[in-house]
C-alpha cells in the first residue's frame, strides 16, 4: 500500500468531513465519544480547509485519513511559546484503513513538516480518559507534557521533540 499526503483543497471539504464523521461515529458506538456531529460538518471545517490547515492521506489513491496541522494553538497550549512548535488535531483514519499504517504516516508527515519549518516540537492533546490512545502516542515517541482543563475537556498534552535537521 502506497500512502501519500497532500493539502486538502476546498473541493475536499466533504471528504475530510466524511473521514472525521466516520471516526466520530465509530468512537461513539464504542462509548468513547470524541467529536460532536456539529464539529465535523463541512460547514464547521470549511474555514480551516480554506486556510490550508487540513491534509489528506491517500492510500493507493483513495482517501484514508486526515490531520489538521497548525502553527499556533492558544486554546490548548496558551502557556507555551508558540513560535517553536507545530500542533496537530483531528487525526482520523477510515475504519477500513485502521491498523496503524495511515496514522503513522500522518504522524511521520507532521514531524517531517515541523522539522522543515524548523520547529522544536510537535504537540497534540487528547482526552485524558483514553489510556489506549495515550499509549499509541507514547509508543510513537510523544512524551506526556501535562494535563489541562480546557473548557469542558480534560486533556493530556503531549510533545514530540523534533530532531535538528542536518543538511
Q: With 70 as the cut, is the pLDDT of residue 167 above it?
A: no
* 0.75 exceeded by pTM: yes
pLDDT tens digit sequence for 40-87: 999 999 999 999 999 999 999 999 999 999 999 999 999 999 999 999
pLDDT tens digit sequence for 130-139: 998 999 999 9
Q: Residue 61 and residue 73: Cα distance in Å, rounded?
A: 31
DSSP 108-150: HHHHHHHHHTT-SEEEEEEETT-HHHHHHHHHHT-EEEEEEEE
Q: With 90 as the cut, is the pLDDT of residue 34 above it?
A: no
> Would you list the domain boundaries of the chain?
3-119
Q: Residue 57 and residue 4: Cα distance in Å, rounded?
A: 6
Sheet of 3-7: strands edge to edge? 3-7, 54-59, 62-70, 85-93, 121-127, 153-161, 143-150
Over range 94-120, report the average pLDDT. 95
The CATH homologous superfamily to which domain 3-119 belongs is: Gcn5-related N-acetyltransferase (GNAT) (3.40.630.30)
Amino acid at each position: 500500500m502506497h500512502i501519500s499526503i497532500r493539502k486538502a483543497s476546498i473541493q475536499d471539504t466533504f471528504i475530510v468531513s466524511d473521514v472525521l464523521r466516520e471516526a466520530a461515529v465509530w468512537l461513539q458506538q464504542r462509548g468513547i465519544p470524541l467529536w460532536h456531529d456539529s464539529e465535523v460538518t463541512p460547514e464547521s471545517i470549511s474555514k480551516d480547509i480554506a486556510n490550508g490547515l487540513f491534509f489528506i492521506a491517500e492510500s493507493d489513491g483513495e482517501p484514508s485519513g486526515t490531520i489538521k496541522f497548525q502553527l499556533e494553538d492558544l486554546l490548548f497550549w496558551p502557556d507555551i511559546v508558540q513560535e517553536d512548535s507545530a500542533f496537530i488535531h483531528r487525526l482520523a483514519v477510515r475504519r477500513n484503513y485502521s491498523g496503524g499504517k495511515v496514522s503513522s504516516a500522518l504522524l511521520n508527515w507532521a514531524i517531517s513538516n515541523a522539522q522543515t519549518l524548523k520547529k522544536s516540537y510537535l504537540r497534540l492533546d487528547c482526552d485524558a480518559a483514553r489510556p489506549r490512545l495515550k499509549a499509541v502516542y507514547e509508543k510513537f515517541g510523544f512524551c506526556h507534557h501535562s494535563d489541562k482543563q480546557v473548557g469542558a475537556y480534560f486533556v493530556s498534552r503531549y510533545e514530540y521533540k523534533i530532531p535538528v535537521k542536518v543538511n
